[in-house]
Amino acid sequence: MNGENLPSIDVDEQAETVTFHTSTQCAFQYHSGDVVGDSYRLLNLIGQGGMGVVYRAKHIIIDQDYALKLLAPGQINDQTWRRFEVEGRALARLKHENIVTIYNMGVDRKQCPFYVMDCLAGISLSDRISGSGAVNLLEALPIFLQICAGLDCAHRNSIIHRDIKPANIMLVPTTKGTVIVKIVDFGMARLSTREGLNNQALTASGDIFGSPLYMSPEQTLGQSMGARSDIYSLGCTLFETLTGRVPFCGQSAFETMMMHQELLPPALSPVSENLFDEGIEEVVAKCLRKNADHRYQTISELASDLQEIWQELNQNQHSDSNNRSADSGYNSSGSQSKSQSSSKSDSAGEQSNSRWQSRSAPVLLIATLLVTGIATALTLISSTCQSQIKP
């Protein structure tokens, strides 16, 4: 079965209408005002992904707004739905501020899976990167520490995300000016049983689930996955967040997956406008090791290293921010721009010459005086000797 048999999604944003087309020529259409699952009235379309769409919906009885994600029909069979159902119950029991809460799930019209979650007033990390470019290190680290906290909670409850990527990280601003991170779409990729290697944003082939741009090597091979696979995907996400580009991107999903299996990942600095210090380079490199045994073994280990880097950057930022920006060439991102690095080197050479000249001037003066004094003394001695030997 190839990608042409995948259900397609047509979205009319103006009419807020979604049409799912299946391989059997059967179409399922949803409009604002329709009721899903006998309880949720669709209000307005708020997003679209590779597997479905998201509406803001209101519960008819309790008058509460939620986000309702409708998945394309034909994406599931009995086995995958039972697996998702079990995991969905586990997710519903997870209570953590960095994990979006799932309130309900079901199948509408006997074909379209849906689930109901918090309606979040924010943007995805993917939108943040595409809109503003790479995120500076000082801003990125608190985001990723929250991601680690959410994943740690899930992993301790034996739940693996399987599809960590910027699009599944929501950034929700608070009234205090901070950002709360919410991880969404836990286990959603496992719903699909179709092949779709033409779509690098979302692929499912047999038991290969996830997004090729962020897949771990073992994930691309359809092997068993655990917490360390999420850690690899998180490393890809951190790489993209700091540089604005993913570590691997081939001409096709298959080529990208082969790159994850065979190629060493690039360092951050060569593909970025900034120079990153050794600490964060080592963290990202360890996340992206091909062999899962050589990566961080738990998300808490990764969080510990990120916390240490963040604390050091934060202390430096508060202790001498003016000196850092003027003299050290480091900007508020905690990284050093390459142009600043070059200027810093030239400036250091000029300062060194200036210091040498200022320190050598007194020495040269003293030496000159000594030479002059010695010459005068020799002249006097010579004159005296000559006067003494005259007849």
Instruction: Give, for 301, the enclosing helix (H) or strand (E).
Output: helix 299-319
120: left (phi over 0), alpha (psi -120 to 50) or beta: beta
Contact 212, 196 (CB under 8 A): no
The token duo for 194 is 């179709």
Catalytic residue among 163, 230, 277, 346: 163
Q: Is 116 in a helix, a strand, or coil?
A: strand
Please identify which residue in the block is written with the tokens 């029909």.
73
Tokens of 41: 């009235």
Cα 185 to Cα 92, 102, 113, 270, distances in angstroms: 12, 10, 13, 32
Strand ranges of the sheet holding 169-173, from the earlier edge strand across to the other edge: 123-124, 169-173, 179-183
Positive or negative, the CA dihedral 131, 137, 143, 144 is: positive
Specify the 3-state DSSP secondary structure of 88: helix
- Phi first, then psi, for residue 206 (nearest 5°) are 60, -115
163 catalytic per annotation:
yes
Which 3 state secondary structure label does DSSP give 337?
Answer: strand
Catalytic residues: 163
